[in-house]
Structure 1
């Protein structure tokens, strides 16, 4: 019987092992995302492919190539066959963001405005709005139904963005380890709170909220991971990883918010218990330093990727 994420404990997390391997990528996987309610995973990679997987059967369902734009960041919209994707290639037409139907491989809309590479992309969990953070030092707020940008924030540094699971708040991580929190409905009034990661001024390259909204997970460019209290900004715990040249790894919460997983520059994967502040597992990734890692929203399964994609599930063998 499949284990649900609500049943996770140290023993189950420790038993995670590789269940499926996909080798046929011709470049690093730059982004992956699980659908919130369907058993689906999408990847974007440097070989210009976008691939859709069924996570129940561990099979490739659909693959499309996008040579003109290149595929960099990718995330699901609410529809299981519709995606948001950012361009890897610099185009004169400024088509840096696009809304893609995987059903018929058709671009439904382009979103123009960013002047440099998009490094962070996230969809609201409750409506048709989404956000993108770019090396042009802006965060843009969009609506799937409208071509024009709905709002813009000018910031220092390389902004990483994330919605909380209720879609009421979004966070922007920026220069100097500062995290600014905005009300999604009135972001134009400015942030209602600012947190600082004490003692670490490295730029935050990724930010995530736990499902219960109580914690935030930050990954920095100098290979540190922090878990913050999402209400007060206090640091709950922090972990250090082996550096990897020219590569920043991705960390992820488990759906119950009790564990954090991350890759490391030495090709290992690590899991920590947030409440106990201790490492509960360390595995060989088998695929070298991991570029992308996420835990499935509704199942005891996580995906880790480099130029190979792996699915991990609990090993139920006695």
Structure 2
């Protein structure tokens, strides 16, 4: 795919991002995908208990791991891009730490007694967060089996690290955001926002900081995304031009310089919202004319991935890539 590096993503170049490759490695529904921090690899997990690793420079699968016994979901790269974490969907709720080099498990993280609903890895060190239907947030270190922090809550939470890995945000009760300093999170949040305006029945399903750290994006099971100011806690915009007819959890993402939010829609398009205005800056036809319930922009390259029952890799058109390398 010859991914172009360090390109500024603006409204003029967004139309040049087009579907470039649709691997046929699986037809099962994709339940998670993510890029490595350096952007050269992508990993995804599917509902047929498989994990796939892709080389972004070629767009070709480089590894395939089956987890038929335990199932797999919420796969994420660990601090080393040749290792991954994933949740289990069968037998138990253990989080498994996998070497992608030799397809062997390095460590097991046990503690959740209900389904894990999210895993978020620190961009700074070997720590990661997990959230689950047991209404807990657990903080872990890859080097030890036991969790190093535990928060018991009143409902299933969502959580994410900030881009520097110094704090994390927790989304609670579908209307409140709390910020915790990792050095003293046991003392409680240093900041709390909410309750934020939220329509009845809109469930918060995931959250992420913008790469610049100024915004928090709340993903939901509705046709709304909430763009929140990370410093004041005010809802900057409710992004709602896209559609989500079946009310499935949608995963949206920021472009690398935090200028746009990319999200799929059940009207057969992929939308790009301008973070500064909250308006649609561009929309592109989605592959298969289906809702891409997962959209993920590469953190380093002008490359993105979308997924429904099929994975699609997007990159800049040939003329744009040629200009970028001049």
TM superposition score normalised by structure 2: 0.92
Structure 1 residue 5: deviation in Å? Answer: 4.6
**Is the Cα contact below 8 Å between 2:214 and 2:231 reproduced in 1?**
yes
Structure 1 residue 245: deviation in Å? Answer: 2.1
Structure 1 residue 215: deviation in Å? Answer: 0.9
Unaligned runs of 5+ residues in structure 2 are 321-326
**Is the Cα contact below 8 Å between 2:133 and 2:156 reproduced in 1?**
yes
> 2:323 aligns to what?
none
- Give a deviation string over 1:189-236, Cα, whole Å, max 9, x none: 111112233244533111011111111111122231111111111222
State the alpha-carbon separation in 1 of the partners of residues 29 and 95 from structure 2.
Answer: 20
Match for 1:110 among 94, 108, 111?
A: 108
> 1:189 aligns to what?
187
Mean CA deviation greater in 20-29 or 257-266: 20-29
Unaligned runs of 5+ residues in structure 1 are none
Structure 1 residue 138: deviation in Å? Answer: 0.6
**Is the Cα contact below 8 Å between 1:76 and 1:83 reproduced in 2?**
yes
Task: Pick the structure with more strand per residue.
Answer: 1
User: Are 2:171 and 1:173 equivalent residues in the alignment?
Assistant: yes
State the alpha-carbon separation in 1 of the partners of residues 6 and 217 from structure 2.
Answer: 18
> 2:324 aligns to what?
none
**Is the Cα contact below 8 Å between 2:19 and 2:314 reproduced in 1?**
yes
**Is the Cα contact below 8 Å between 1:43 and 1:52 reproduced in 2?**
yes
The DSSP-based 3-state class of the residue aligned with 1:14 is helix
Mean CA deviation greater in 258-267 or 293-302: 258-267
**Residues 1:315 and 1:45: Cα distance change in structure 2 (over 3 Å):** same
Structure 1 residue 24: deviation in Å? Answer: 2.9
User: Are 2:14 and 1:13 equivalent residues in the alignment?
Assistant: yes
The within-5 A match list for 1:190-205 is: 190-196=188-194, 197-200=196-199, 202-205=202-205
The DSSP-based 3-state class of the residue aligned with 2:174 is helix
> 2:83 aligns to what?
82
> 2:96 aligns to what?
98
Could you list the runs of 4 or more consecutive aligned residues of structure 1 that deviate by over 3 angstroms after TM superposition? 1-6
**Is the Cα contact below 8 Å between 1:23 and 1:307 reproduced in 2?**
no
**Residues 1:147 and 1:53: Cα distance change in structure 2 (over 3 Å):** same
**Is the Cα contact below 8 Å between 1:20 and 1:311 reproduced in 2?**
yes
**Residues 1:5 and 1:155: Cα distance change in structure 2 (over 3 Å):** farther
The DSSP-based 3-state class of the residue aligned with 2:13 is helix
> 1:63 aligns to what?
64
How many residue pairs were aligned? 315
- Give a deviation string over 1:267-302, Cα, whole Å, max 9, x none: 321001111322111122123111221111100111
TM superposition score normalised by structure 1: 0.94
Structure 1 residue 317: deviation in Å? Answer: 4.1
The DSSP-based 3-state class of the residue aligned with 2:12 is helix
Mean CA deviation greater in 259-268 or 77-86: 259-268
